[in-house]
Amino acid sequence: MTNSAPLCSIDGCAKTQKSRGLCSAHYERLRSHGDPLYGGDLGTTHGEPEHFYKETVVPFRGDECLEWPYARSGVGYGQMRINGKSHNVHRLICRETHGRPPTPDHQAAHSCGNRACVNHRHLSWKTQAENELDKIQHGTMPIIKNGRWASVREL
């Protein structure tokens, strides 16, 4: 007897449907983030993010944002697993480019305001206060408008 359970409606996903035409992983992304594809492809081949990091991110020399195409945190930072531990990719590239943070409290700040960006030219170590000032400058500082969270860009 063959399994005739319907498959997930996302192209390339061979998992069976859970709800709303989606497998459980895509459904949870839709429920949590409003997008079943949030954070990248669920079918990433083992080693693919590491290869992209070494072959694309590290040697990248462009001035434009280079967005991490794989897993992302709930707030949009690119993530990669190394030896079973999840790491924020922007911090890895900032450390590789600029060395260790000056203090444990320093943050890998994005001059572009794009959390998914891993372009080393857009990253630098900053204090939380410096990083907050950057957010005001590039319009990504969260504020409350009409009783809901917004960014300066949305005003």
- Position 144 scores a pLDDT of 59
Q: How confident is the model at residue 92 (pLDDT cuts 50, 70, 90)?
A: very high
Question: Residue 60: is its pLDDT beyond 80?
Answer: yes
- Position 125 scores a pLDDT of 98
% of the chain with per-residue pLDDT over 90: 43
Q: Residues 119-143: what's their mean pLDDT? A: 87
- Position 152 scores a pLDDT of 46
pLDDT in tens, 99-122: 999 999 999 999 999 999 999 999
* Other residues' Cβ atoms within 10 Å of the Cβ of residue 66: 21
For 24, list phi and psi in degrees, rounded to 5. Answer: -65, -40
Bridge partners of 109, per DSSP, are 124
**Closest C-alpha among 56, 64, 61, 63 to residue 89:** 56
Residue in the structure block whose two tokens are 């492809």: 41
**Ranges for all domains in the chain classified under CATH 3.90.75:** 48-154
- Cα separation, 82 vs 100, in Å, equals 18
Question: Residue 155: is its pLDDT beyond 50?
Answer: no
Q: Per CATH, is 48-154 categorized as 3.30.70?
A: no
